[in-house]
Structure 1
Amino acid sequence: MRYSVIYLIQDIYYPILAAVGVPTNMVTIAILSRGKCGLSKCITCYLVGMAVADLLVIISDPILSWIGAKYFPDSFLHITPVCSLTAVLASVATVVSVWLTVAFTFDRFVAICCEKLKRKYCTVKTAAVIVGTVNVLSCLESVPWYFTYQPLYIVDNIPWYCPYTSAFLFSSTWAAFEMFHYILTPCVPFLLILLLNVLTVRRIIVSSRVRQGLQGISKGENHKDPELQNRKKSIVLLFSISSSFILLWITRVVYNLYRRITIVRFYYSTNDPRLITDRVSVMLQALSSCTNTCIYVVTQSKFREELKNTVKYPLKSMFKLVKP
C-alpha cells in the first residue's frame, strides 16, 4: 500500500511540534510562576494551569503516542496497559486544558461584568479550587478510555499493542459515552466561551460609553483612561486565547460529530478524504497546545520583557565563563 502524504506530513509535523511545544510551555510556566508579568495572581493561576495541561498534551500525544509508536515500535510504550494509560493521560490533559480555558473566560467575565461577585470570586483561593476541581473531574471522566483497548497478542504473559475492542467499535453504550465525551469536551466549552465573550463585549461597550460620557470625552479628544486601558489589555488577552481555541478545535469538533452520526468505523484507503480530515483535525488540535505562549508574547509587554531576560540570562552566564 502506498504511504499517504498525510502520514509523511505527520512524520515531520509532530517532531517539530514536540521540539517547539515542550520548551515553550516550560518557559511559559517558569515565567508566569514568577508573577512579574503584570497579571493578577488569579489570572496567573489559570494560565499556569493551562500551560501545564498543554505541556502534558504535547508529552502524551505527539511524543508518546505518535513519535514513540513511529520510532520505537518494540518499546514498552506498546505494552497494552502502558498505551492505555497514555491514552487516558492525553484525554485528561486535553480536558483540563479546554475547561481551564472556560474557567479563565468565566473569571474575566465576572471581573468585567459582575462588580459585586468580583471581590469574592476573582481570588487566588477560588482559582486554585477551580483548577484542582477541573483536574479531579477530568481524571474521573477520562478513566473509561483505559478500557477501550485490547491486546493484539500476548507474548510471555505480556499483552502487546492497543487496537480498539470490538465492544468500543460496535456497542451503543460506548457510542453514547464517546458522544457524551465530545459534547462535554469541547462542544459545551465552545458554546460557553462564545456566550461569555458576547456578554463581556456587550458589557465593555456599554461601560466604556458611560465612562466616556461621564468624563465628557468627545470623539475628537485623545484622553487615556487607565481603567479602560486595563480592560482593553484584559479583553485582548481573553479574546486571543478564546479565538485561538475555537479556530484550532472547530475542525475536530465538526468531524467527530460527523463520524459518530454517520457511523464511520473504517477508512477504505490512506487517501480517504475522511482519513485526511481526521488527521488534519488532530494536528490542529495538538497545535492549540503551543499557541498560548505566542499569544502572551504578542499581547503582554511584560511577558515579552521577562522572556527576553530568560533568554539573555544563560547567554550572559556563558559569556562570563568564556571571557578571559
Structure 2
Amino acid sequence: MRPPVVFQIKRIYYPVLGAIGVPVNFGAIVILARGKCGLSKCITRYLVGMAIVDLLVVVTDPILRWTVPLYDRFVFLRMTAVCRLSYFLFFATTSVSVWLTVAFTFDRYVAICCESLKTKYCTQQTATVVLATVSGLGCLESIPWYFLYEPHIVINDVSWGCRAKQNFLNSPIWIAYDILHRMLTPCVPFCLILLLNTLTVKHILVTSQVRRGLRGQSNGENHKDPEMANRRKSIILLFSISGSFILLWVTYVMYNIYARVAAIRFYYSFTDPRYITDQASRMLQALSSCTNTCIYAVTQTKFREELKNALKYPFKLIVQLVRGVSTSCTEPGDLIVAKHKKTTDCN
C-alpha cells in the first residue's frame, strides 16, 4: 500500500530542506562574521545571531525530527531522553528565531524612526545583550516541552519513543501553557512585526515628503540624498526579512487560531483538508529558516561579492596547488639553467 501523498512529499521536502539549509546558513554566518558586507556592526551582530539560530532550527526540525527517523541506523535518537531533548531544542530554537526577527525589526524601527534613541540603542553592545536575553528567555519558556512527553514503550528498562502525556489535552495547566506558548510563538511576534513595519512605513513617507520639500525636489530639481540612499538600503533589508517571515508564517498562525477556535484535536484521515493545511503550514514555517541568506544575496551587493569570492576560493586553491606541484616537479637541469640565466642578467 502506497503511503499518503502528504507523507511522500514530506519524505522528499525535509531532507532537501536540511541539505540546503545547513550550508546556506553556515555560509551566511562565515560571510557576515567577516564584517565586509558594508553593514554596521549592530546589524551584522543581529544577522549573525539570526543565521546561527536558523542553522539550529534546520538541524532540529528538518533533520532530527523528519529526516533522521527515515533511517533505522540512528536508533539511539529514538530513545526517550534524546527524543525529549530534540523536541525541547526544536521549540526553543524556533521561539528564539521568531523573537530575534522581532528584535531586529525593533532595532531598525529605532534606527529609522527614533533619532534620540538611535545612538544609545543601536549599538553592538546592545545587540549582544538583546541576543543573549532573547536566547535565554526562549530556552526557559520552552523547558516544559521536555517534560510533556513520556516513553512510548519500555524494553529491558530502556525507554523508547515519545508521546504526549495523557493529561495534556485535559489538564488546565497544560492547556494554559499551550495557549501561552502559541501566543508567544508566533502570534504576538507576528502582530508586533506588522505594527512596527506599519509605523516605520508611516514615518518614512512623512520624512521623505519633508526632505523632498527642503531639497527642492518638489519643484522638479533632481538632487541625490545620501542619507535617504543609505536609509533605503536598510529599509529594503528590513522589509525583506520581516516580509518573508510574515508570508511564510501567516498560514501557520491563521490555522492555529482556527484549530483553537474549532477545538480540533484529531484528523479523520490523511486526506483531511485540515490535516493537509496543517502540514503545509509547518513546511512553510520550516522554510523560513533558509530564506534569509537568499534575501542577503538579493538585497546586498557586497554580500553577493563575498559569496562569489567564497564560491571561487576552492577553485583558486586547486589552481594554486596544481601550480605548486608543477613547480616542484621541474627538472634539476631546468633549475640550473634558470639560475645561471638569472645570474648572467644581474651581471
Note whether the superposition's TM-score is higher than 0.5.
yes
1:41-77 Cα shifts (integer Å, max 9, x gaps) = 1111111111111100000011011111122376111
Alpha-carbon separation, structure 2, partners of 1:219 and 1:25: 47
**Aligned residue in 2 for 1:51:** 51
Determine the structure 1 residue equivalent to 2:26: 26
Shift of 1:207: 1.2
Trace 1:266-277 onto structure 2 (pairs within 5 A). Answer: 266-277=266-277
Is the contact made by 2:68 and 2:74 (CA closer than 8 Å) also made in structure 1? no
Distance in 2 (CA, whole Å) between partners of 1:34 and 1:212 is: 37
SS at match of 2:289: coil
| Cα deviation, residue 4, structure 1 | 0.9
Distance in 1 (alpha carbons) for counterparts of 2:198 and 2:251: 22
Q: Percent same amino acid at aligned positions?
A: 62
Q: How many Å apart are 1:228 and its aligned residue?
A: 0.5
For 2:27 and 2:212, the matched residues in 1 are separated by 40
Task: Report if aligned partners of 1:25, 1:293 keep a CA contact under 8 Å in 2.
Answer: yes
Equivalent residue, structure 1, for 2:117: 117
Please list, as runs of the form range in 1=range in 2, the aligned pairs for 1:57-206 lying within 5 A after superposition. Answer: 57-72=57-72, 75-206=75-206
Cα distance, 1:219–1:311 mapped onto 2, change above 3 Å: farther
Q: Is the deviation greater in 172-181 or in 236-245? A: 172-181
Distance 2:54 2:221 in 1: 44
What is the rounded CA distance, in whole Å, between the counterparts of 1:92 and 1:262 in structure 2?
A: 27
What SS class does the counterpart of residue 96 from structure 2 fall into? helix
**Rg larger for:** 2
Residues of 2 paired with 1:232 and 1:278: CA distance? 37
- Check if 1:292 corresponds to 2:262: no
Q: In the TM superposition, what is the alpha-carbon distance from 1:255 to its structure 2 partner?
A: 1.5
- Give TM-score scaled by structure 2 length: 0.91
Are the aligned partners of 2:215 and 2:223 in contact in 1 as well (CA < 8 Å)? no
**Which amino acid letter does the alignment assign opposite residue 137 of structure 2?**
L
Instruction: Return closer, same or farther for 1:156/1:74 CA change in 2, 3 Å cut-off.
Output: farther
- For 1:38 and 1:16, how far apart are their aligned partners in 2? 32
Mapped to 2, the partners of 1:209 and 1:218 lie a distance apart of: 9
Q: For residue 292 of structure 2, what is the amino acid of its counterpart?
A: N
Q: 1:151 Cα shift?
A: 0.7
Which residue is equivalent to 1:210? 210
Q: Deviations over 1:208-259 (max 9, x none)?
A: 1111111112364432211000111110100000110001001111112222
Distance (whole Å) between structure 2 residues aligned to residue 237 and residue 180 of structure 1: 31
Moved more, 156-165 or 289-298: 156-165
Q: What runs of 5+ residues in structure 2 fail to find an aligned partner? A: 327-347
Identify the residue that residue 343 of structure 2 maps to in structure 1: none
Equivalences, count:
324
Give the aligned CA root-mean-square deviation in angstroms.
Answer: 1.3
> Following the alignment from structure 1 to structure 2, what is the Cα–Cα distance between the partners of residues 125 and 92?
24
- What one-letter code is carried by the residue in structure 1 that aligns with 2:120? K
Please name the residue that 2:39 is paired with. 39
Deviations 1:179-222 (A, max 9, x none): 11111111111111111111111111111111111111236443
Deviating more after overlay: 248-257 vs 262-271: 262-271
3-state DSSP of counterpart to 1:218: helix
CA drift at 1:2: 4.9
The question of whether the paired residues in 2 share the 8 Å contact of 1:175 and 1:260 is answered with: no
Distance 1:210 1:154 in 2: 70
Q: Tell me which amino acid in the other structure corresponds to 1:26.
A: F
Moved over 6 A (4+): none
Q: Which SS does the other structure have where 1:170 is aligned? A: coil
